[in-house]
Amino acid sequence: MSWVTTSTPDLWHHYGRVRATRDCAVPGTFYWSWSQDAGPGPEILGELTGRCVGDLGAGAARQAAHLAVHHQPARVIAVDGSPAQHAMATDLYGHLAPCLQIVQSDVVPHLQAMTRAYDVLYSVFGALDFTDPHEVLPAAAAALKPGGRLVYSTLAHYLNGTPAQPDAVAADIPAKTPDGEATTMRRWVLQQHVWIELLDAAGFTSITVDVLPAAVGGQRTADTLLVSAYHPA
């Protein structure tokens, strides 16, 4: 499990970097949609007061900071494998500890080390898009308490409009090294029935998938799949 090592470049080095220089506020809103400006919010996660919540692929931890400040969880653990994203999240929201804990780790070993620890796991276009679902979904199931909930948003199709995959396979998408060199990374963009089959195989129940249509047309807009599932009680 070597998602980021000292010998592999951090392909998330540039993500959110410009925004972090000018916007260090705790967001007042939380959205699942690709456009991040409309649609359902954290109510999809259920009651969070006193709960242990994990963000899988938290990036700069903006959503996790929102939950920590506005929803009274016992704690929110913002997990991200990228050294750059971890540093950015720590700079922006480290002051929200201990309610907000910012952890640098690949989500799979993190979840494997947290058996039955979480009430709620979620991801906003995060690690579930970029990690083999055959690894991360069973790990998430094992990390949830009985009756716990997993919710995530993911692309309903590729950003260029190409339909999602009919099988559980990744595609290589463009990425940049910290030096700006073009490379690729793997992204799982899957049809609804594929996610349902994978979640079912990982032991989840009460699986639902909602489509959140793109708010406006144009290039690089996208429909969102909002996926919700429960660990059996």
121 forms beta bridges with: 54, 150
Nearer to ligand SAM, 130 or 204 (CB): 130
Q: For ligand SAM, what does the binding mask look like between residues 79 and 118, x meaning CB under 6 A?
A: xxxx--x--------------------xx-----------
Nearer to ligand SAM, 52 or 102 (CB): 102
The CB-of-58 to ligand SAM minimum distance in angstroms stands at 6
By the rule CB under 6 A, 12 interacts with ligand SAM: yes
The CB-of-148 to ligand SAM minimum distance in angstroms stands at 19
Strand ranges, E, within 81-178: 100-104, 118-124, 144-155, 171-176
Q: Write the DSSP symbol of residue 33.
A: S
Q: Exposure of 160 by Cβ count < 10 A (0-12 exposed, 13-18 middle, 19+ buried)?
A: exposed
Residues in 51-70 at the binding interface with ligand SAM, rule: CB under 6 A? 57-59
By the rule CB under 6 A, 34 interacts with ligand SAM: no
Q: Exposure of 217 by Cβ count < 10 A (0-12 exposed, 13-18 middle, 19+ buried)?
A: exposed
Give backbone dihedrals phi and psi of 96, rounded to 5 degrees, phi first: -85, 0
Residues contributing to the site for ligand SAM (CB under 6 A) = 3, 12, 15, 57-59, 79-82, 85, 106-107, 124-127, 130-131
